[in-house]
Structure 1
Amino acid sequence: MNFNNKSLLITGIGEFVGLRAAEKAIAKGMKVSGLQSSADKAKKAQNMGAKVMIGNITNPAITESACQGIDIVLHTDEIAKEGGSIEEFREVNVGGTLNIAKAAKSHGVKTFIYISSALVYGFNYPDRVTEDGPLSGENNPYCQTKIEAEKALLELNDPSNFGVIIIRPGDVYGPGSIPWIVRPLLLMRQKLFAYANDGQGVINHLYIDNLIDAIFLALEKETYGEIFNITDGQETSWKEYFTYLAETAGLPAPFSLPKDELKLFLKLRYQGQKLFRKQADILPEVVDFMTRPYAYSIDKAQKILNYQPTINLQEGMHLTQEWLKKTDLKKMMP
C-alpha cells in the first residue's frame, strides 16, 4: 500500500497513541483527519494540520459524517482504566467500535485497523502466549470488552471490500503515557508508589514509536483478518522497569509490598477519595495489571510484518526523560 495522499481517519486523535500516529502519518504524506470527543485534546492534532471533528464514536450521525471520503480508519478511541462499570465500557469499547466500523464499511473505507490490547489474555496466561490465546476476560471490564470488540469486528472482515486488522499492543509507554509514565511518577513524587511481590513478572513494554511502526507495517502489507501481538520484545521485570523510570526522573527507587497488602492499601485510599468526592487517581485493580507473569510472543509480527522494534528501553527512557524536562505532569492527568 502506498500511503502518499491516502486519507486516514484516526479516532481518539488527540490521545497518546492517536496523536503520535497522526504526526507519523502526516510525515508520510497522508491526508489525516480525526474524531475526538474533547475540543481541548483536539488542538494539538489540529496544530499539526489534521482536520478534527469533535464528537463521540457512540453517535451514529458523527461516525457517518467522519467516514466520508476516507480510505483507512485507525481506531484508537477507547475507555482505558483498570475497573468500573461493564455497561460504561461496553457502550464505548464495543458499541462505539462497531458504530465506527459499520459507518466505515458503509462509506467504502477499504481498511480498518483496530488497536486492541494484549490484556485480552487476562492476567494469568501461558509464557510466550500467541495470538491464538487463550483469551480471558478475568471479570474485568477492560479485558472483557476488548475481547468482545475483536470478535464483533472480525465478523465484519471482508478482505476485498473492508479489511480488518487487529493490533494487540503490550504496555505502551513514552512521552504522554498516563499509565506507565505520568501516573507512576506523580505517585513516586508523593512517596505513594509501590510495586507488588518484589516486582516479579514481566512488563511487556512497548515504546510508542515501535507501535506506530507496526501499525504502518500491517497497513503496508494489507494483512486483513490477522491479529498481531506487538511489544518491544524485551523481558523486563516490573521492578527493573519502575526502578529505571524513577532513575530517569531523578527519584528514589520505589519499594515493594505483598500483592494483597498493596490491594488493600489502594482499596482504602480509593474509598477515602470517594468519601471526599475526589476523582480516584488509581484503582485497586491496577495491582492485577502490574503483576502479570510472562512475556507475550511477537513471533508472528516478526515473521509476517518483518516487525523489528527499533527503540529499546534504554533509548525509550532517554527520549521520555527529554520530554519530562519540559512537561508539567500534573497538567497531563485527566
Structure 2
Amino acid sequence: MKPIAVIGAGGYVGARLIERSELLGRPQLVSIVRTWLSQGRLARYGVRTVRGDAGDRASLVPLLEGCGMVVNLTLGDDKRIVGDVQAMYTACRDAGVPLFVHMSSAEVFGRAEDPALREESAPDGQHWMEYGREKAAAEAWLRSQWDGPVKVVILRPGLIWGPGSGWLVEPAKALVDGTALLYSEGRGVCNLIHVDNVIEHLMVLAQSEPQSGVFNIADPETLSWAEYYHAIAREVGADESAIRLAPDSDFRESPWKRLMQLPPAMAVKSRMSGQAKVRVKQRLKDLVASRHPESRPFVPQPSVSKQFWWVQGTARKLPSSAFAERYPTVRLQSFPDLMAAAGRWLRWAGFECVNGYSPGE
C-alpha cells in the first residue's frame, strides 16, 4: 500500500492515526502540519512531520508525490475551508494522487430535522454557523470535480469522541463537578462516531479501488444525549440523577458570548495567535479576581455553549449505511467496548468522583 498523506496531522484525528501507525507499524504516513506549533501533540510519538500549508498548492505537491491517498483533517479558520480544499485537490491532481478524502461534517445538515434526508442529499448551505456553511460550500465544489482525474470521497462524521476528545472530556468534567445540563430534556440524538471508527473508514478506503462518493459515518448504535451522559457517569462514578434537564427553549447565550460573535470581535480574534488568545483570557480572569479579592465559596454553575446546546437538539440520526454497502469489509467497534476503554482513560486522567463508587463495576 502506498503512503497516506495526512494534511492537518496535528489535530485530534490525525494524532490518533499517527499513534495507530506507530503501534501497528502501518500504514506509512506523510504527516503534514502547517506550523511547528502543531508538532506538540505528536512529539511523544517521535515521528517526523513535514511542513506544508493546506492553502498553498506549491508547498503541497512535492510532499504528496508517491502517495496513494490524501486525507484532509485540517481545522482552523472557517473562511479558509473552501480555498484550502481547492488547493489540496489541485495539489493531488498535480502530484498524481488517485484519491482525495475530505473530512466534512454531519453538521452540514444542522439538526437533521428533515425526515427526507439521504446520504446523497446536498446540504442547503443555510446553516447559522459559518463552519456549517463553509463545509457545505466545500462539498459543492468537490462534487463538481467528481469525474476528474482525482477521485473524491467526502466523509461526514458526527461528533468525534474518544480519549482526549472534547465531546468526552467536557461531559465528564461537568458530571464530576455536578454541573451537567442537558437541553431538550436529554432526548436529542447524540450523533457520535468514535475516533477509532473514523480511522477504520480511512483504512478501508486506503485499501480499496479509488472511486468517488459521499458518506455519512457514525457509530452503529443510536443514543440519546441522556444515554450518553449516563454511560459516562457510570464510568466516572457520578450521580446520574444529578444531571439537570431543561427544555430547548430555556437556552440563553451569555452577553459576553454574544459580544464575541460581533463582526469587530471576530475580526480581532481571527488575527490573534492561539497563544495570544490564551494570554488575553488569563489577563481578563486576573482582572476580575483583583476586583474581588475576598475569599468566597465557589459553587460551580452549569455552562453550556451555543454549539453544545445546538447539537443536543438533533432530531434524528442521519442515515449511514452506504459506506458498508460499498465497502462490506468495514468493521466498527461497539459503543459498550469503546466506552469501557474511554472510562479507563478518564479515570487515569483524574475524572473520577470520590464517593465510594467503583466505576465499571
TM-score normalised by the chain length of structure 1: 0.82
Q: Deviations 1:91-148 (Å, cap 9, x if unpaired)? A: 1x21122222211211111211111111121214334832122524322212111111
Identify which of 74, 78, 81 aligns with 2:75.
Answer: 78
Quote how far apart the aligned CAs of 1:293 are.
0.9
Counting only pairs closer than 5 Å after superposition, residues 156-167 of structure 1 correspond to structure 2 as 156-158=145-147, 161-167=149-155
Quote how far apart the aligned CAs of 1:151 are.
1.6
Contact 1:125–1:134 (CA under 8 A) maintained in structure 2: no
Identify which of 182, 192, 195 aligns with 1:208.
Answer: 195
Contact 1:9–1:73 (CA under 8 A) maintained in structure 2: yes
Q: Residue 309 and residue 297 in structure 1: after superposition, are their counterparts in 2 closer, same or farther (change >3 A)?
A: farther
Q: Residue 302 and residue 113 in structure 1: after superposition, are their counterparts in 2 closer, same or farther (change >3 A)?
A: same
Q: Residue 107 and residue 273 in structure 1: after superposition, are their counterparts in 2 closer, same or farther (change >3 A)?
A: closer
- Equivalent residues, number: 312
> Is the aligned partner of 1:313 residue 2:335?
yes
Identify which of 121, 134, 143 aligns with 2:109.
Answer: 121
The 2-side partners of 1:291 and 1:71 are apart by: 39
Contact 2:61–2:92 (CA under 8 A) maintained in structure 1: yes
The 1-side partners of 2:157 and 2:8 are apart by: 16
Counting only pairs closer than 5 Å after superposition, residues 101-120 of structure 1 correspond to structure 2 as 101-120=89-108
Amino acid at match of 1:52: T
TM-score normalised by the chain length of structure 2: 0.76
Deviates more, 1:113-122 or 1:301-310: 301-310
Identify which of 2, 12, 30 aligns with 2:27.
Answer: 30
Contact 1:214–1:307 (CA under 8 A) maintained in structure 2: no
Counterpart secondary structure, 2:128: coil
Identify which of 177, 198, 208 aligns with 2:165.
Answer: 177
The 2-side partners of 1:41 and 1:318 are apart by: 30
Unaligned stretches of 5+ in structure 1? Answer: 80-87, 330-334
Q: Residue 127 and residue 176 in structure 1: after superposition, are their counterparts in 2 closer, same or farther (change >3 A)?
A: farther
The 1-side partners of 2:53 and 2:7 are apart by: 9
Quote how far apart the aligned CAs of 1:239 are.
0.8
Contact 1:302–1:308 (CA under 8 A) maintained in structure 2: yes
Counterpart secondary structure, 1:325: helix
Quote how far apart the aligned CAs of 1:322 are.
1.8
Q: Residue 30 and residue 311 in structure 1: after superposition, are their counterparts in 2 closer, same or farther (change >3 A)?
A: closer
Q: Deviations 1:17-72 (Å, cap 9, x if unpaired)? A: 11222334453633211122353442454554643124532344433343244332
Deviates more, 1:236-245 or 1:220-229: 220-229
Identify which of 34, 59, 63 aligns with 1:62.
Answer: 59
Amino acid at match of 2:97: V
Counterpart secondary structure, 1:130: coil
Contact 1:203–1:238 (CA under 8 A) maintained in structure 2: yes
- Which residue does the alignment assign to 1:82? none
The 1-side partners of 2:67 and 2:122 are apart by: 35
Q: Residue 29 and residue 189 in structure 1: after superposition, are their counterparts in 2 closer, same or farther (change >3 A)?
A: closer
Counterpart secondary structure, 1:146: helix
- Which residue does the alignment assign to 2:354? none
Contact 1:118–1:169 (CA under 8 A) maintained in structure 2: yes
Q: Residue 8 and residue 50 in structure 1: after superposition, are their counterparts in 2 closer, same or farther (change >3 A)?
A: farther
Q: Which segments of structure 1 move beyond 4 Å, counting only runs of 4 or more?
A: 271-277, 279-282
- Which residue does the alignment assign to 1:149? 138
Quote how far apart the aligned CAs of 1:172 are.
1.5
- Which residue does the alignment assign to 1:239? 226
Q: Residue 255 and residue 282 in structure 1: after superposition, are their counterparts in 2 closer, same or farther (change >3 A)?
A: closer
The 1-side partners of 2:108 and 2:89 are apart by: 20
Amino acid at match of 2:18: A
Q: Deviations 1:163-191 (Å, cap 9, x if unpaired)? A: 1111111222111212x112222333443
Counting only pairs closer than 5 Å after superposition, residues 248-263 of structure 1 correspond to structure 2 as 248-253=235-240, 254-261=243-250, 263=251
Counterpart secondary structure, 1:285: helix
Amino acid at match of 1:278: K
Contact 1:32–1:51 (CA under 8 A) maintained in structure 2: no
The 2-side partners of 1:282 and 1:54 are apart by: 36
Identify which of 285, 303, 314 aligns with 2:325.
Answer: 303
Unaligned stretches of 5+ in structure 2? Answer: 266-278, 285-302, 352-361
